[in-house]
A and B are shown apart, each in its own frame.
Chain A
Amino acid sequence: MIEAPKILEIRNLSKKFGGLQALSDVSIRVRQGEIASFIGPNGAGKTTLFNMICRLYQPSSGEIRFEDKNLLDFRPHHLARLGIGRTFQNLALFRHGTVIENLLVGMHAHLQAGVLAGVFRFGRAAAEERRAREEVERIVEFLEIEEIRNSPVSVLPYGLQKRVEMGRALATRPRLLLLDEMVSGMNQEETEDIARFVLDLRDELGLTVIMIEHDMNVVMDISDMVHVLNFGVPIASGPPAAVAADPAVIDAYLGRGGS
């Protein structure tokens, strides 16, 4: 079997916050169409890694390549157009908007209307709005949130808000989707829904997904590759079964009551 080309390549990445070495010399490869999981105890540096991919943090050293581009040449607001979408560990929805409005913001990078077009709602601008609305409706259907599409997001239960945030990330039309602790705080059923969505995204749309997860069932069930961090140090990478059996992982992570 020919291996899929790599979509993300992290090379010797390190990050220091003052005296704290949040990440040391991390090298990870993610292939196209892969579902990869980043796991590790609290404070291991997982979110920091996402923040560096998203260009919110500047690495202390190292390289990040996405497809054929050096990500370090870009700024955070370029990410959506490059094809990287993300959800946040703590909800980061636009709380004054409805579900649909949140998703429409997600499409920002792929729409054109400027101030004048917006004011006059010229033919083109109106058509663009209509197309955006259609695309967003497809996401609503995919995530099975039709009933709440016009609700203000602030009134939704936590699990649904997370789902909306996933929808908003999908609206950026990502080829690489970064999910930071999607299922934490979700019940069994909601968790299974999310796992199913992730698999569908990969199987039907060919998306590459990187999840940061504490829920070991989800990680073991749907990941192709698991990368383990401990105090910013990569300690294991490989298919779920191999990683779960790795003594270093058991010692550092699973052994410490991390289920």
Chain B
Amino acid sequence: MRTRTYKETYSQLSSLFPYADTWAWYGVLMAIVLALPWLVPTYIFAYVTLVLIAVIGAVGLNIVTGTAGLISLGQAGFLAIGAYTTGILTTSYGWGLASAMLASGVASAAASLLVGIPSLRLKGLYLAITTLAFSIIVVHLINDADSLTGGSSGLPVRRPDLFGVVPMRSQMAMYFLSLAVAVLVILATLNLLRCRVGRAWAALHDYDIAATLMGINLVRYKLLAFAVSAFIVGLAGSLMALNIRYLNTDSFGLILSIEAIAMIIVGGLGSVRGAVLGAILITLLPDLSRWVLGQFGSFTGSLASGSAAEIKGIIYALVIMFFLRMEPEGLNHQWKRIKRFWSEWPYSH
């Protein structure tokens, strides 16, 4: 049982993990994740790499859509900008890994201002459609600029050594790079959301007029939400490029944006932990459901593996509807309930 803990100073109150055993649990988790490549076969931690990249993307999207309440279906566009920036800079211009990744974030953030500006006047569905259009335009532009991007025939991506010294060729290196970025992005976002900036985003989401009178400049903070979110999503795009080492605009379809929205809805809008849990669940879901369907016999099994994108779309739609209806606060809510149960055990009821 975890007893009520009294805090003696305000800095204790505002620390990230107020309980000592929280640190211990995250330590254990970190140890497992760090040892993973030695514990499981390559294809498993290659899979976990995909999950980590999805986590980064979801944490990024959660800032603008979950916290600031600005619905974005532009995820695919920002991922594409991040991915192609890294692809072009490393392959055609010989940039280093770290600088190319940073440039991906910056490029994506800069592009986000283009969507951000109409967002100042648009809300809800209209904003969703605008961001969707942005995504489609980005993919078109990438296809058109084939001298730079390889167009429809695609772009092979070189994976340079990190800082010119750490070799990155192995899947293990890619795993650790994604892990490092994911951890940094999660910690940075947690910090950001509990300071003045994050509070301003949450406030303008809940009541924009009241937020204005608290001194929050709506224009600035909405654009900032888009930019910070897109920066993180750009990093995820960059990792995607480095991970698959071959870019094609087919990988940046609308389904990617839907997937990302599904992640943060399933996880619980506005919560970083929710975004992480949602990204894990949604990434695993197509494979899980394929396996489940396969258990019912070869017909349903082949159905599931047949038209992947369509099946995915249907699964996401069902999951989103299920969560909006049954658990609008998402996995994060369940997590809190379970945690409360255990921390009050044996007095929980």
Name A's B-contacting residues (CB within 8 A).
Answer: 54, 56, 76-81, 85-86, 88, 92-97, 101, 104-106, 108-115, 117-121, 125-126, 128-130, 133-134, 137, 168, 172
Decide if B14 touches A172 in the complex (CB within 8 Å).
no
Given the contacts A96-B206, A105-B203, A106-B214, A114 and B197 also touching, CB distance less than 8 Å: yes
Q: Which of B13, B210, B217, B218 contacts A133 (CB 8 A)?
A: B13
In the complex, identify which listed stretch (B73-81, B88-96, B145-153, B188-196) lies at the interface while the others stay far away: B188-196
Residues B215-252 near A (CB distance < 8 A): 215-218, 224, 228
Q: When chains A and B are docked, how far (Å) is the Cα of A241 from the Cα of B9? A: 50
* Chain A minimum-CB-distance residue to B9: A130
Q: Does B25 contact A (CB under 8 A)?
A: no
Q: Which of B13, B188, B191, B214 contacts A105 (CB 8 A)?
A: B214
Q: Does B286 contact A (CB under 8 A)?
A: no
Q: When chains A and B are docked, how far (Å) is the Cα of A24 from the Cα of B48? A: 67
Q: When chains A and B are docked, how far (Å) is the Cα of A121 from the Cα of B188? A: 9
Q: When chains A and B are docked, how far (Å) is the Cα of A163 from the Cα of B192? A: 28
Bitwise, B181-207 to A at CB < 8 A (1) or not (0) is 000000010011001111110110111
* Shortest CB distance A47–B (Å): 12
Q: When chains A and B are docked, how far (Å) is the Cα of A133 from the Cα of B14? A: 9
Decide if B200 touches A108 in the complex (CB within 8 Å).
yes
Interface of B (DSSP majority class):
helix
Residues in A with CB closer than 8 Å to B210 are: 88, 92-94, 168
Residues in B with CB closer than 8 Å to A79 are: 213, 215
Given the contacts A108-B196, A114-B197, A119-B192, A134 and B10 also touching, CB distance less than 8 Å: yes
* Shortest CB distance B322–A (Å): 22
Decide if B197 touches A115 in the complex (CB within 8 Å).
yes
* Shortest CB distance A77–B (Å): 5
Decide if A92 touches B209 in the complex (CB within 8 Å).
yes
Decide if B203 touches A130 in the complex (CB within 8 Å).
no
* Chain A minimum-CB-distance residue to B212: A76
Decide if A76 touches B213 in the complex (CB within 8 Å).
yes
* Shortest CB distance B337–A (Å): 15
Interface of A (DSSP majority class):
helix
Residues in A with CB closer than 8 Å to B212 are: 56, 76-77
Residues in B with CB closer than 8 Å to A76 are: 209, 212-213
* Shortest CB distance B340–A (Å): 15
Q: When chains A and B are docked, how far (Å) is the Cα of A93 from the Cα of B206? A: 8
Q: Does B11 contact A (CB under 8 A)?
A: yes
Given the contacts A77-B215, A120-B191, A111 and B196 also touching, CB distance less than 8 Å: yes
Decide if A77 touches B217 in the complex (CB within 8 Å).
yes
* Shortest CB distance A14–B (Å): 23
Residues in A with CB closer than 8 Å to B218 are: 77
Decide if B188 touches A130 in the complex (CB within 8 Å).
no
Residues in B with CB closer than 8 Å to A133 are: 10, 13-14
* Chain B minimum-CB-distance residue to A81: B215
Q: Does B270 contact A (CB under 8 A)?
A: yes
* Chain A minimum-CB-distance residue to B204: A94
Given the contacts A92-B207, A108-B199, A115 and B192 also touching, CB distance less than 8 Å: yes
Q: When chains A and B are docked, how far (Å) is the Cα of A113 from the Cα of B205? A: 20
* Shortest CB distance B217–A (Å): 5
Q: Which of A54, A96, A118 contacts B270 (CB 8 A)?
A: A96
Decide if B195 touches A130 in the complex (CB within 8 Å).
no
Q: Which of B13, B192, B206, B213 contacts A95 (CB 8 A)?
A: B206
Q: When chains A and B are docked, how far (Å) is the Cα of A88 from the Cα of B199? A: 20
Q: Does B321 contact A (CB under 8 A)?
A: no
Q: Which of A78, A97, A112 contacts B202 (CB 8 A)?
A: A97
Residues in B with CB closer than 8 Å to A126 are: 11
Decide if A80 touches B209 in the complex (CB within 8 Å).
no
Decide if A104 touches B197 in the complex (CB within 8 Å).
no
Q: Which of A54, A86, A115 contacts B228 (CB 8 A)?
A: A115
Decide if A108 touches B207 in the complex (CB within 8 Å).
no
Q: Does B102 contact A (CB under 8 A)?
A: no
A-B contact pairs, 25 of them (CB 8 A): A77-B216, A77-B217, A80-B215, A94-B207, A94-B210, A94-B211, A101-B199, A101-B202, A104-B199, A105-B203, A108-B196, A111-B196, A113-B196, A113-B197, A115-B228, A118-B191, A118-B195, A121-B191, A121-B195, A125-B195, A129-B10, A129-B14, A130-B10, A130-B11, A134-B10
